[in-house]
A and B are shown apart, each in its own frame.
Chain A
Amino acid sequence: MTEPEHENTGFLYPFIESEERDAGPLLADLAASARAKALLSKSLAAATIEATAGAVEAAARAMAQRFEAGGVLYTFGNGGSSSDAASVATLFSRPPSGRAVPARCLTEDPAILTALGNDVGFELIFARQLIAHARAGDMCIALSTSGGSKNLLVAAAEARKRGVLTVAMAGYDGGTLARSPSVDHALVVRSDSVHRIQETQAALAMQLWRTVQLELARKAA
């Protein structure tokens, strides 16, 4: 599913743009654009949830098993994906309903991030934190739109080395991250719009959370 990254809508307006005075046509076009984007977001999320159902189920089963055994979830990403990773950690650790499980985002502390970025390099900002905190039996979710972020690839390799279950979310064709041998469960959002990828990754993470909750409830029954 694709959409043009930048819509050139100038041709719709009969006036010389700098002398354009009536905002009506632009507002109508913006609203139409919003409806189209929302529809695309919804259909991409639905298609992705369907396409990844098996992978989500498998990841959730493995995660529920690790949560039961006391495992901790670490989430991380860059830019907007770092705030999305924080949302995922919040959903697992402080859910609006269901069972709270230990989850934490590795981009929360600027002191840690700048210390690592300055001293050992940006590529190691997540891997070094995993070295300090992660134990065998823990798990991580790496969020990327490109699937090419070096610090995520390095962190996934470090996680694998330490017996940490690795789940990766990526857009486009999944990139290097989704194909990495260090990744146990790859969830790919097949789109080339960063915004639509992020919206669907949120829906996907919530589907993963739901499935983990169902697994935990099933084990408890």
Chain B
Amino acid sequence: MTEAATSSPTWATAGADDADDLAGASLALARRFHAGATLWCIAPRWPEQARHVAVEFVHPVIVGSRALPAVHVGGPGLVEALRALVRPGDVLCAVSGADDATVADTFRRAPAWGAMTIWIGAGPRPVAGAADHVLWSDPDTDPALAPYDGSLSLRYHMLWELTHICFDHPGLLTPPEDEVCEGPVCVTCSDEGRLAEVVTATGDLDPEATVRTSTGLERVDTTLVGPLPAGALILVHAGSAITVVGDTP
């Protein structure tokens, strides 16, 4: 017998150390839904988890709760499928371990797609900044068993429950002005190092590339960084690509 099958059941340790994270994620999700977002649910290794998240929102178990747009996207070519589907203002929710490379690759593109990210999982946490909201199981939860012992479903159930409580507070569903635009220089309104994803490959002859940013498509000059393949992530400043982010696809 191996350790996982004989050690004490992990349900006994299921708690909510991430209660404050859940609260923040729920209000942010309610605000996005209020503004017309779709929730895209992914779980490359445990597709049934993402399907459960989607059905939670689309067909609420509590009669009278709003049906909200949530979709499970799975199968091969996940990044390509999401790239075509996700619109600015949408939300991506992943259920996976922090070591899931597909989720990590999807989430690092999310700012260029204008999408908010929620990462639900167990075990070692994702690196700081990997998602806007991280809803993580207690450290003593066995990450290998977390998809089966109810500790992940507890988290997305609570996300649904708390999001619906937020709808009872219409005054809070629109972010206050100072949260939208803060300080003397606003990074949203200025041209300060915005993440962009290259839409079509560029060559030596044409230094202009069409890129996708959180606000839509735009043309940028790529002279500084050279030819770029489609899907590359770059930082854009003042109409120019100033650096390539991470590995090119």
Q: What is A's interface to B at a CB cutoff of 8 Å?
A: 5-10, 13, 15-21, 23, 26-35, 37-39, 41-42, 45-46, 49, 79-80, 82-84, 86-88, 90-91, 95-98, 105, 145, 194-195, 198-203, 205-207, 209-210, 213-214, 217
Which residues of chain B have C-beta atoms less than 8 A from A49's C-beta?
A: 9, 11
Taking the nearest CB of chain A, how far is it from the CB of B125, in angstroms? 18
Measured in the bound complex, the distance between the Cα atoms of B154 and A38 in whole Å is 7
| Contact (Cβ within 8 A) A34 B61 | no
Which residues of chain A have C-beta atoms less than 8 A from B208's C-beta?
A: none
| Contact (Cβ within 8 A) B46 A90 | yes
| Contact (Cβ within 8 A) A195 B61 | yes
Q: Can you report 30 A-B residue pairs in the complex whose CB atoms are below 8 A from each other? A: A6-B164, A21-B172, A26-B165, A26-B166, A27-B24, A28-B23, A30-B26, A30-B162, A31-B20, A32-B19, A34-B162, A35-B16, A42-B13, A42-B14, A45-B150, A46-B11, A80-B52, A82-B51, A84-B52, A86-B47, A87-B46, A90-B147, A97-B5, A97-B144, A194-B62, A198-B150, A205-B148, A210-B5, A210-B6, A214-B1
Q: Is B27 an interface residue (CB 8 A)?
A: yes
Q: Is B22 an interface residue (CB 8 A)?
A: yes
Taking the nearest CB of chain A, how far is it from the CB of B53, in angstroms? 9
| Contact (Cβ within 8 A) A98 B5 | yes
Taking the nearest CB of chain A, how far is it from the CB of B13, in angstroms? 8
Taking the nearest CB of chain B, how far is it from the CB of A161, in angstroms? 29
Measured in the bound complex, the distance between the Cα atoms of B170 and A16 in whole Å is 10
Taking the nearest CB of chain A, how far is it from the CB of B20, in angstroms? 5
| Contact (Cβ within 8 A) B61 A206 | no
| Contact (Cβ within 8 A) A203 B11 | yes
Which residues of chain A have C-beta atoms less than 8 A from B221's C-beta?
A: none
Taking the nearest CB of chain B, how far is it from the CB of A15, in angstroms? 7
Q: Is the interface of A mostly helix, strand, loop or mixed?
A: helix
| Contact (Cβ within 8 A) A80 B170 | no
The 0/1 profile, CB within 8 Å of A marked 1, for residues 153-181 of chain B is 11001101110111011111000100000
Measured in the bound complex, the distance between the Cα atoms of B214 and A12 in whole Å is 37
Q: Is the interface of B mostly helix, strand, loop or mixed?
A: helix
| Contact (Cβ within 8 A) B48 A98 | no
Which residues of chain B have C-beta atoms less than 8 A from A19's C-beta?
A: 171
Measured in the bound complex, the distance between the Cα atoms of B168 and A96 in whole Å is 42
Which residues of chain A have C-beta atoms less than 8 A from B49's C-beta?
A: 83, 87
What are the 3 closest A-B residue pairs judged by CB atoms, nearest first?
Answer: A38-B16, A20-B171, A202-B150
Contact of A202 with B149 at beta-carbon distance under 8 Å, contacts A18-B170, A31-B22 already known? yes
Taking the nearest CB of chain B, how far is it from the CB of A40, in angstroms? 10
Which residues of chain B have C-beta atoms less than 8 A from A41's C-beta?
A: 14, 150, 154
Which residues of chain A have C-beta atoms less than 8 A from B19's C-beta?
A: 31-32, 34-35, 38
| Contact (Cβ within 8 A) B9 A207 | yes
Measured in the bound complex, the distance between the Cα atoms of B171 and A15 in whole Å is 10
| Contact (Cβ within 8 A) B158 A21 | no
| Contact (Cβ within 8 A) B170 A42 | no
Interface residue from B18, B148, B149, B170 paired with A17 (Cβ < 8 Å): B170
Q: Is B145 an interface residue (CB 8 A)?
A: yes
Contact of A17 with B169 at beta-carbon distance under 8 Å, contacts A42-B15, A199-B154, A203-B9 already known? yes
Which residues of chain A have C-beta atoms less than 8 A from B56's C-beta?
A: 80
Which residues of chain B have C-beta atoms less than 8 A from A82's C-beta?
A: 51
Interface residue from B11, B61, B147 paired with A80 (Cβ < 8 Å): B61
Q: Is B55 an interface residue (CB 8 A)?
A: yes
| Contact (Cβ within 8 A) B55 A45 | no
| Contact (Cβ within 8 A) A7 B150 | no
Taking the nearest CB of chain B, how far is it from the CB of A182, in angstroms? 26
Taking the nearest CB of chain A, how far is it from the CB of B145, in angstroms? 6
Q: Is B206 an interface residue (CB 8 A)?
A: no
Measured in the bound complex, the distance between the Cα atoms of B47 and A23 in whole Å is 34
A88 (CB) vs chain B CBs: closest residue: B148
Measured in the bound complex, the distance between the Cα atoms of B6 and A81 in whole Å is 26
Q: Which of B20, B23, B27 has the most CB of A within 10 A?
A: B23
Taking the nearest CB of chain A, how far is it from the CB of B70, in angstroms? 12
Interface residue from B4, B14, B23, B59 paired with A45 (Cβ < 8 Å): B14
